[in-house]
């Protein structure tokens, strides 16, 4: 650009171009001018002049770089000199001190100083050291300052007046002084003999100039680097200057004029109006497009914008000169997008005008399409967030109102609401969702059963499977015929158009959705496609919810059938219970109350990890297994051990069959309560421990040893705990879903359970269960919950009779008589005969086949009499049918026929054979065949 600036005054617009050979430029075929050799020579001379008086950017940059490089070189040299002087002084000090200490500590130096002629001994060595180390002198002194050695032999023997007191005390002494050869350093150290006495001094001097010379070595490098930097700067400036010349192609005034003409032609050819105004609002330039868009007169240039017939708003904007972007103005029937930018150091601006009439129409259609895409996107993310059919239908209405419609209604086939498969194209549906921009539309309410008549748009859509548009409800006879009164109210309310779309999934009709408009523009044919897309997406979500509902209903039915219906009435316990399924569906939580012999009762609570049919079926298998093991009257620890083995085998069989759903993770708590002694024996496998509420309302959590969950015990032993419960105590068994939650720690849950149970003191068991659930579960739980609350009772001592039986058959009549008297005292004389027969058989068998100690116990329950005979052996009797020739073998058969049930349970010291007689009038077994034998 600097070259163009120098050449431009020599060739102005209109100058004649010199002929070829005249030292100027000539055009070749009207193309880019080519410089002649003479012209190139003149240009080279001017460029050389520009380096002396730099007026171009490249020259000024080079001059600046030259000055910077010189400053850097001078700074580097100065810093190096200062650094070298400091380094040389320090090195001189170090060299003199090291030499002095080396000479003073050399072997024989001290002995030489103590000799008769120290000079003869030391002078040769001192000179040798001086020459070898390059110091100026090495002088040995007596302790009194007389020289023994010196490079100048005339100085030997003379006294040195300098004080060396510090050196004689063992501290080296250094001084810096100016000598005839320049700055010098002197170091003095003392020489000590073996006794530690100072026998002399050694002083070494060296001039600083002897250790300098780094600057002289590095100056050529610095100057060479500076020269290279100057060459690089010159080369860079030359490259920049050449690049500028190449970019402008060496154009002169004529070429620049031609370029201006080209730009002017382009300015008037573009389809965007351009206005250039001065600071006073005068129009300096207007291209042809601006004249067309604004209908400017021919003499518009030079006039004020207020005199051009523009709209007041546009004229004020152009006069103000403030910057705006795409500000829209109406000029006749044209929408103009105006951009204004201030330019130049003086007041003025440039305005561009663009016709956006067609663009606005296209943009409007694009906005509509974009809004529909956004609506479909939101429908994909907001519809189907739950597996609830009603909620899914509500989400469909919430997404479409008011983005697509003013109101929306959804009706579903009745079978779909129950999770069943839809059958046929039924027009009988139940309304499940209504939403709108107002809350008072005259629609049928949610829950209404609607039967659509033939000719109704809904019926037409259901039959054809396609959406139906009613652009004018007032003119639709088929729609009004469904319910003329309600149709009239809807029209008065403002409804003017409607789209009905069937909800279909997998080829089955699930229902119908209707979109209504009252304030928006009426529906058009373009609205059918997004309406159908919305319905399709919603139908898939509704069908998923329907299938889930069916599976959930099946699982609930299965689980309800597997859980105990009504618990038995027991004299040992009063029981309250609750089961609450999880939000995600049924799970594997269960509970049970199992009567045991001897008026005892077993309480069990378990949990199978997971939800759905598999968990429910697994829970049923576990509950059946517990019943079977409890029938054997196993202790809690043995029962859980057998249950652990059973689950391990089930998992192994499932793995062998390729079934990935194992039941590892099942837990269980098993407790046996004896109302005679009040003793409760408990064991648990991976299950939360129980809560115990004493009769006075105090809540504790007994420490029950915990074993691994069922199926992963790996043979580890299960430990039991024994609790002595007072009458009226409440034992609370529960699953982890009651106390654990995602946002709550188990310790917090146990604290809440403690407070809830403490607040139910004196309440019934059903009220206790409900209060606990209300306090612990504010919302529907994420895991199912089983809760079992048992209030203990104790049998009155008068209801229990016990005898020690001697190991003698002769004692049987006496025992039978005493038992008969006790039955008479209980008012059970009618059962005395049957009871005495059973007692005789059981006691006789214990005496004959058992071992001491032998005991008899009678328990009077609320509806039965229990006879128990204990002995010290573990052999179990077997019931068999005796033949006609057998003289025995009918005793247990007789017991089985006359009692309601009988059995054997084992203890730590032997076994107990028990039989239970009914006291409620039940008939005993038929003994006629036995009596005929």
Q: Is the pLDDT of residue 753 over 90?
A: yes
CA distance 877 to 15: 141
pLDDT at 431: 93
Q: Is the pLDDT of residue 933 over 60?
A: no
Strand arrangement, sheet containing 901-907 = 800-805, 854-860, 864-871, 910-918, 901-907
- Name the strand (E) or helix (H) holding 758: helix 746-758
pLDDT at 662: 56
Q: Summarize the confidence of residues 661-670 as an average pLDDT.
A: 76
Burial class (CB in 10 A: 0-12, 13-18, 19+), 830: exposed
8-state DSSP, 352: E
Region of poorest pLDDT, from 726-730, 748-752, 894-898: 894-898
Question: Chain-wide mean pLDDT for the chain?
Answer: 80
pLDDT in tens, 418-435: 888 877 667 789 999 999
Q: Summarize the confidence of residues 641-650 as an average pLDDT.
A: 85
Q: Summarize the confidence of residues 332-350 as an average pLDDT.
A: 79
Burial 887-900, CB ≥16 within 10 A → b, else e: eeebbbbbbeebbb
Q: Is the pLDDT of residue 123 over 80?
A: yes
pLDDT in tens, 875-910: 777 666 655 544 455 667 777 777 888 888 888 888
**Long-range contact pairs involving 520-523 (C-beta distance under 8 Å, separation at least 24):** 520/402, 520/405, 520/406, 522/471, 522/472, 522/496, 522/497, 523/469, 523/470, 523/471, 523/497, 523/498, 523/499
751 confidence band (pLDDT: 50, 70, 90): very high
pLDDT at 549: 82
Helix, strand, or coil here: 80? helix
pLDDT at 433: 94
Nearest Cα neighbor of 46 from 82, 95, 85, 2 is 2
Q: Summarize the confidence of residues 543-562 as an average pLDDT.
A: 78
Return the HEC string of 215-253.
HHHHHHHHHHHHHHHHHHHHHHHHHHHHHHHHHHCCCCH
Highest mean pLDDT among 349-353, 659-663, 789-793: 789-793
pLDDT at 49: 45
pLDDT at 657: 66
Nearest Cα neighbor of 687 from 628, 734, 617, 623 is 734
551 confidence band (pLDDT: 50, 70, 90): confident
Q: Is the pLDDT of residue 215 over 60?
A: no
Residue with the bigger pLDDT between 721 and 310: it is 721
Cα–Cα–Cα angle for 266, 272, 273, nearest 5°? 95
604 confidence band (pLDDT: 50, 70, 90): very high
**Residue 402 neighbours by CB distance under 10 Å:** 14
pLDDT at 699: 94
Helix, strand, or coil here: 695? coil
Q: Summarize the confidence of residues 507-512 as an average pLDDT.
A: 90
Region of poorest pLDDT, from 575-589, 766-780, 793-807: 575-589
445 confidence band (pLDDT: 50, 70, 90): very high
497 confidence band (pLDDT: 50, 70, 90): very high
Region of poorest pLDDT, from 84-88, 311-315, 813-817, 921-925: 921-925
Contact 672, 680 (CB under 8 A): yes
Q: Summarize the confidence of residues 345-355 as an average pLDDT.
A: 80
> What's the first-to-final CA gap in the chain, in angstroms?
141
Q: Is the pLDDT of residue 50 over 70?
A: no
pLDDT at 311: 83
Q: Summarize the confidence of residues 212-223 as an average pLDDT.
A: 63
């Amino acid at each position: 650009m600097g070259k163009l600036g120098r050449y431009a005054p020599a060739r102005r617009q209109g100058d004649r171009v010199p002929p070829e050979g005249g030292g100027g430029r000539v055009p070749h075929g009207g193309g880019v001018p080519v410089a002649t050799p003479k012209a190139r020579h003149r240009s080279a001379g001017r460029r050389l002049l520009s380096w002396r008086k730099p007026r171009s950017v490249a020259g000024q940059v080079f001059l600046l770089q030259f000055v910077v490089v010189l400053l850097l070189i001078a700074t580097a040299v100065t810093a190096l000199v200062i650094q070298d002087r400091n380094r040389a002084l320090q090195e001189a000090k170090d060299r003199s001190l090291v030499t002095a200490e080396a000479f003073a500590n050399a072997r024989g130096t001290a002995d030489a100083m103590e000799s008769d002629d120290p000079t003869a001994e030391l002078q040769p060595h001192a000179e040798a050291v001086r020459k070898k180390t390059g110091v100026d002198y090495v002088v040995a002194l007596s302790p009194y300052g007389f020289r023994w050695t010196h490079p100048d032999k005339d100085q030997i023997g003379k006294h040195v007046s300098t004080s060396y007191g510090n050196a004689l005390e063992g501290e080296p002494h250094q001084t810096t002084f100016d000598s005839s050869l320049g700055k010098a350093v002197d170091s003095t150290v003392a020489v000590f003999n073996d006794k530690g006495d100072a026998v002399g001094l050694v002083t070494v001097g060296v001039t600083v100039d002897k250790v300098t010379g780094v600057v002289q070595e590095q100056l050529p490098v610095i100057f060479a680097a500076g020269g290279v930097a100057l060459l690089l700067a010159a080369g860079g400036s030359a490259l920049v200057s050449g690049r500028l010349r190449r970019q402008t192609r060496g154009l002169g005034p004529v070429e620049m004029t031609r370029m201006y003409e080209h730009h002017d032609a382009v300015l008037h050819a573009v389809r965007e109006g351009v206005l250039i105004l001065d600071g006073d609002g005068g129009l300096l330039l207007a291209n042809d497009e601006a004249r067309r868009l604004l209908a400017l007169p021919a003499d518009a240039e030079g006039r004020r914008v207020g005199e051009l017939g523009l709209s007041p708003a546009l004229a004020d904007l152009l006069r103000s000169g403030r910057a705006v972007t795409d500000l829209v103005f109406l000029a006749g029937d044209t929408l103009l997008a105006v951009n204004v930018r201030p330019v130049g150091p003086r007041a003025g601006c440039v305005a561009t005008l663009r016709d956006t009439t067609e663009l606005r129409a296209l943009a409007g259609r694009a906005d509509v399409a974009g809004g529909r895409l956004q609506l479909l996107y939101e429908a994909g993310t907001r519809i189907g967030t739950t597996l609830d059919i009603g909620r899914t239908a509500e989400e469909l209405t919430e997404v479409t109102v008011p983005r697509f419609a003013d109101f929306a209604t959804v009706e579903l086939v009745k079978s779909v609401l129950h999770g069943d498969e839809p059958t046929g194209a039924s027009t009988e549906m139940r309304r499940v969702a209504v939403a709108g921009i107002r809350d008072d539309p005259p629609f049928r309410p949610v829950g209404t059963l609607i039967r659509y008549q033939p000719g109704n748009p809904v019926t037409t859509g259901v039959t054809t499977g396609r959406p139906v548009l009613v652009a004018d409800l007032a003119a639709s006879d088929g729609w009004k015929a469904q319910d003329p009164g309600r149709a009239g109210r809807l029209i008065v309310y403002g409804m003017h158009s409607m789209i009905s779309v069937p909800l279909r999934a997998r080829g089955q009709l699930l229902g119908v959705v209707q979109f209504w408009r009252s304030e928006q523009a009426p529906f058009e044919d373009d609205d059918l496609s997004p309406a159908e897309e919305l319905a399709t997406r919603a139908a898939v979500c509704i069908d998923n919810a329907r299938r889930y509902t069916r599976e959930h209903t099946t699982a609930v039915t299965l689980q309800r059938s597997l859980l105990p219906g009504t618990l038995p009435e027991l004299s040992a316990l009063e029981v309250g219970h609750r089961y609450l399924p999880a939000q995600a569906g049924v799970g594997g939580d269960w509970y049970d109350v199992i009567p045991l012999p001897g008026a005892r009762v077993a309480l069990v609570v378990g949990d199978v990890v997971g939800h759905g049919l598999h968990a429910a079926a697994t829970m049923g298998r576990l509950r059946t297994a517990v019943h079977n093991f409890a029938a054997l009257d196993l202790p809690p620890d043995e029962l859980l051990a057998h249950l652990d083995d059973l689950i391990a085998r089930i998992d192994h069989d499932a793995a062998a069959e390729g079934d990935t759903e194992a039941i590892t993770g099942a837990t269980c708590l098993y407790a046996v309560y004896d109302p005679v002694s009040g003793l409760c024996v408990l064991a648990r496998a991976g299950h939360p421990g129980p809560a115990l509420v004493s009769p006075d309302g105090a809540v504790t959590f007994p420490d029950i040893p915990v074993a691994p969950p069922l199926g992963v015990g790996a043979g580890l032993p299960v430990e039991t705990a024994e609790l002595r419960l007072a009458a009226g105590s409440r034992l609370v068994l529960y699953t982890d879903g009651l106390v654990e939650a995602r946002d709550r720690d188990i310790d917090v849950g146990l604290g809440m359970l403690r407070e809830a149970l403490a607040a139910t003191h004196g309440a019934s068991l059903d009220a206790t269960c409900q209060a606990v659930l209300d306090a612990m579960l504010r919302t529907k739980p994420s895991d199912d919950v089983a809760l079992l609350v048992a209030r203990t009772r104790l049998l009155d001592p008068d209801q229990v009779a016990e005898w020690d039986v001697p190991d003698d058959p002769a004692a049987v009549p006496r025992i039978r008589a005493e038992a008969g008297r006790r039955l008479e005292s209980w008012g059970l004389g009618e059962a005395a005969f049957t009871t005495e027969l059973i007692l005789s058989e059981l006691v006789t068998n214990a005496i004959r086949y058992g071992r001491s100690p032998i005991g008899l116990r009678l328990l009077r329950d609320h509806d039965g009499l229990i006879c128990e005979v204990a002995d010290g052996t573990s052999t179990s009797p077997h019931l068999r049918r005796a033949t006609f020739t057998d003289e025995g073998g009918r005793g247990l058969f007789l017991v089985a026929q006359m009692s309601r049930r009988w059995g054997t349970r084992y203890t730590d010291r032997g076994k107990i054979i028990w039989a239970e007689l009914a006291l409620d009038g039940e008939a005993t077994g038929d003994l006629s065949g036995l009596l005929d034998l």
